[in-house]
């Protein structure tokens, strides 16, 4: 299994890592994706922690850190900081319930459409089957 892949979303690319048996996005990349600061992302998650399980948002351990560090030059500089990872449910939860960015709103609309139409529900299955996917297309 590859250590990471990219998905394309509204013209933006985001790197997802294989952590704890599923694809996840690290906080820095997710904040950049949503056009917010990492500090705001983590603050929002912390004040809404009742909405997340321990598996949806988690602090990465040293082994996971070194796995990610190999593929992410931004982590190489400076002191090791706490890095959180968000799985698919964590990403959707924070987009739907807490964030006010345009991309978060579009993700929320896409998720609702997908659930209502019962199609393509497992977003990361596209990744497992190999490659980049534009997962937010207007219908």
Tens digit of each residue's pLDDT (9 = 90 or more) over 105-121: 777 777 666 656 655 55
Other CB atoms closer than 10 Å to residue 3's CB: what's the count?
11
* Predicted TM-score (pTM) of this structure: 0.71
Q: Dihedral, CA atoms, 8, 25, 1, 71, nearest 10 degrees? A: 90
Is 86 in a helix, a strand, or coil? strand
Given a cut of 50, whether residue 133 has pLDDT beyond it is no
> How far is 63 from 55, CA to CA, in rounded Å?
17
> How far is 122 from 115, CA to CA, in rounded Å?
10
Domain segments of the chain as ranges: 4-128
Given a cut of 60, whether residue 87 has pLDDT beyond it is yes
């Amino acid at each position: 299994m590859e250590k990471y892949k990219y998905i394309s979303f509204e013209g933006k690319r985001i790197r997802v890592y294989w952590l704890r048996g599923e694809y996840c996005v690290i906080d820095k990349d997710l904040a950049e994706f949503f056009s917010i600061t990492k500090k705001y992302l983590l603050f929002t998650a912390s004040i809404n922690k009742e909405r997340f399980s321990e598996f949806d948002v988690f602090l990465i351990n040293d082994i996971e850190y070194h796995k990610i560090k190999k593929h992410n030059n931004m982590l190489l500089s400076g002191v090791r900081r706490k890095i959180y990872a968000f799985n698919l449910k964590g990403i959707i939860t924070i987009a739907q319930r807490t964030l006010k960015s345009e991309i978060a709103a579009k993700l929320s609309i896409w998720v609702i459409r997908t659930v209502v139409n019962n199609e393509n529900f497992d977003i990361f299955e596209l990744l497992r089957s190999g490659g980049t996917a534009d997962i937010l297309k207007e219908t």
